[in-house]
Amino acid sequence: MGNIVIVPIETISDSEYNTIVKRMYDTLKGLIVTNIATIQDASKVVVRPLVVGDPNHPDKIVDIGIAGASSGQIGWLIPAASITPNKLSEIFASGAACPDEKMILIFGFIDRTPNPDLKYIQVAKGKDIPISHDVEHIYRKGDINGGLFFDESGTPTYISYKPKDEISWKMVFETSADKEVQLLALIGEKLGETINKFIE
């Protein structure tokens, strides 16, 4: 994997963004058929948004746990208790990994925090670190703060995780307060795992 560039999301048109999202859905379907032996038919693959929150959620609906998540939490709230100001803070729960028979694809992030102060992101995929750099350049005066991943040639790209791959996303914030940083993350699985049928 080459260097990943984070492009401010506000510089991308709605139509371009929608095209990128569709491409990511299709890409993840292809990755699953290629990498998971028990799923060989793309028509039997469901791609949906990744669900995060309380890793011990009683309804068993959370794919990946958020560090310090409150009991029953669903969603991309990063609790203040898990953040050390101006130091790398892990956003996922200890031992976070891609679930069996599934794959995860992440292609950017959106920061919905009032007065956002995210400065730096470091992404690890096992021992590899495909992203490790400042993100302050994406924060402009637009309504949406966030960025999409592109390669150096200007093509939208992503980070993918196979079953059992360890997932680590560390962020540096200026203050210790609750943050609403949502990764643009998809999870793919066999039809019937979570979603029993396609909506026509």
Domain for residue 182, yes or no? yes
pLDDT one-digit tens code per residue, 166-187 = 999 999 999 999 999 999 999 9
Residues spanned by the domain of 89: 4-190
Domain for residue 161, yes or no? yes
Over 70: is that where the pLDDT of 200 sits?
A: no
Give residue 86's pLDDT.
96
pLDDT one-digit tens code per residue, 79-92 = 999 999 999 999 99
Phi–psi pair at 175, nearest 5 degrees: -130, 160
Domain count along the chain = 1
Domain for residue 133, yes or no? yes
Beta strands 167-173 and 159-161 are unpaired
Spatial contact of 105 and 27, defined as CB atoms under 8 Å apart: yes
Q: Where are the beta strands (DSSP E) in the chain?
A: 4-8, 45-49, 52-53, 64-65, 77-78, 89-90, 103-111, 118-125, 128-134, 145-151, 159-161, 167-173, 179-190
pTM over 0.75: yes
Domain for residue 26, yes or no? yes
Cα–Cα–Cα angle for 19, 21, 161, nearest 5°? Answer: 140
